[in-house]
A and B are shown apart, each in its own frame.
Chain A
């Protein structure tokens, strides 16, 4: 007993289930062996004439089916099945009803899903993907990222966006020295003032450094050197701070090989170190407590 479903296409999926009966059965004359439920848009298929009908009955049974639209209400539809298939075996009727149940359930699910988020699948063109990948590789090579980043950072350093954190730039140092000289000539202030104005950078770094000792290993050394230069000129108020840094600097300088500094600074550093090693070591110990 084949129960065939009408071929269903997407546009018809939401239509109501339809009970298709063999036309001959409707007339009650010829016992029909084909009953199908399915979905169709037409309520009635056009009835072919009787001869054609006879041919269809034997060659193309699908053409002889009559569709009965079932009610939208699930319970009523079940009753309709019972009415229309009244003399059919119980098993067949049961199977029809099961099919109806399945259809209604999946229709419900479809309607629910369309309300939720739909996942949109976007097809990737392999050719395009390959092309983009290649172009990306070439762009990466052309970009020379490390160089660009380094250049940008150095530019920022020169412009002074980092302010007074980094102290080694020779140009800035020279400028600072020039400033200092000008100020001594123009203002003739006390030593303290000169130092503050000329070496303003370095003072700020002292304070800064005390708070953050861990990060600046390299910085410390260079700062230490600059601090020593200050100390060579300067006074007790700053000595304590710089002496602490000196201690750090010595320990670190011995442990790590430092980048070679430019000429003038190196000379000054050597000069100052000798002085300090002789003079202030005992002083440091006392002040360190």
Chain B
């Protein structure tokens, strides 16, 4: 049999194979490529022919799909109002596992908690935010520039060099000088990769993983440098209790009254546990359209741990720690 196969010219060989599968050969003579159901492209040994067969298979499938779509559309039109509602495609956000700690806007307990937690001082307008930005030891250029740009984005922010000081000693000094926030940007291999955000008068400490940092000069089509006006803050999608507290942490970074004159807005958008930070300048073209222009650095954060007191890695009480094996087991479960 093998010898026979070798000697026969190509198309016949192919036909033979099809016959071997036990399928009809009439269809092959038709113009459009039709494939017998149990035929599989991977069984052709010749690469070129296999490739061309595969392309034809794809064409077929695409055509069928289009036909199906057209048919459905026709049916929809024909039915008119009686048509069944359009099916919503499943997305990860749709399929998200419901988190019990999701906050209801009217929840009293949450409201009460928020009235008495560490940020209540800020939200009751008792304190103004003052931020200290520093890095880990020996920062490289990129991190330094990132710190500077952050300081322009966040009003009342000061950048200080860390000269090998222990954070535990830095914190009481900051408190005595009236800082409300301490931001430490950790660096690894010349690139910022971590952020410790510590609310100072013994407030919670959040540790984030920072990724995709884009400095100002790497932004395409960016605008001029941000001005000194206080920006507005947008916090999106912080739904659970944890998300709520993190959202309040971010909100407390910025002063209360945004200066709308400046038309600047800082956005913290949470999507699937990644917090995207963007800084834009907006302009209302008319009531239905707004144009935004990105200025300022952009980065994404992912929460690693939330600790109750100020920064203390050994003895601190952790409210939430990201545990990979428990928390990353399902692709539809998010915590923020």
Interface residues of A (CB under 8 A from B): 117, 120, 128, 132-133, 135-136, 138-140, 142-143, 145-146, 148-150, 152-154, 156-157, 162-163, 165-166, 168-172, 212, 215, 218, 259, 261-262
A145 touches B272 (CB 8 A): no
Instruction: Say yes or no for B177: interface residue by CB 8 A criterion.
Output: no
B234 touches A152 (CB 8 A): yes
B287 touches A170 (CB 8 A): yes
Interface residues of B (CB under 8 A from A): 91-93, 164, 166, 209, 211-212, 232, 234, 236, 260-261, 263, 265, 267, 269, 271-274, 276, 278, 280, 282-288, 290, 292, 300, 302, 313, 324
Q: Assuming the A-B contacts A135-B274, A136-B211, A150-B292, are A142 and B91 also in contact, with contact meaning beta carbons closer than 8 angstroms in the complex?
A: yes
User: Distance (Å) between the CB of B195 and the closest chain A CB?
Assistant: 15
Contacts of A212 on B, CB cut-off 8 Å?
Answer: 261
B166 touches A153 (CB 8 A): no
**Contacting B284 at CB < 8 Å: which of A135, A140, A168?**
A168
Contacts of A152 on B, CB cut-off 8 Å?
Answer: 234, 236, 267
Q: Which residue in chain A gives the minimum CB-CB distance to B274?
A: A139
CA distance A120 to B211 in the complex (A): 20
A157 touches B287 (CB 8 A): yes
Q: Assuming the A-B contacts A142-B92, A142-B271, A152-B236, are A218 and B285 also in contact, with contact meaning beta carbons closer than 8 angstroms in the complex?
A: yes
Q: Assuming the A-B contacts A135-B272, A135-B274, A142-B91, are A149 and B287 also in contact, with contact meaning beta carbons closer than 8 angstroms in the complex?
A: no
B290 touches A148 (CB 8 A): no
User: Distance (Å) between the CB of A145 and the closest chain B CB?
Assistant: 6
B263 touches A215 (CB 8 A): yes
Q: Which residue in chain A gives the minimum CB-CB distance to B234?
A: A152
Q: Which 3 A-B pairs have the closest CB atoms?
A: A169-B287, A143-B271, A139-B272
A168 touches B286 (CB 8 A): yes
Contacts of B92 on A, CB cut-off 8 Å?
Answer: 142
**Max chain B Cβ within 10 angstroms of own Cβ: one of A132, A143, A157, A162:** A143
Between A and B, 24 residue pairs with Cβ closer than 8 Å are A128-B324, A132-B211, A136-B212, A136-B300, A139-B273, A139-B274, A140-B271, A140-B274, A143-B276, A145-B278, A149-B234, A149-B280, A152-B267, A153-B282, A153-B290, A154-B290, A157-B284, A163-B260, A165-B260, A168-B286, A168-B287, A218-B283, A218-B284, A261-B286
**Max chain A Cβ within 10 angstroms of own Cβ: one of B234, B286, B302:** B286
Q: Assuming the A-B contacts A149-B267, A154-B290, A170-B287, are A136 and B274 also in contact, with contact meaning beta carbons closer than 8 angstroms in the complex?
A: yes
**Max chain A Cβ within 10 angstroms of own Cβ: one of B92, B164, B269:** B269
B285 touches A148 (CB 8 A): no
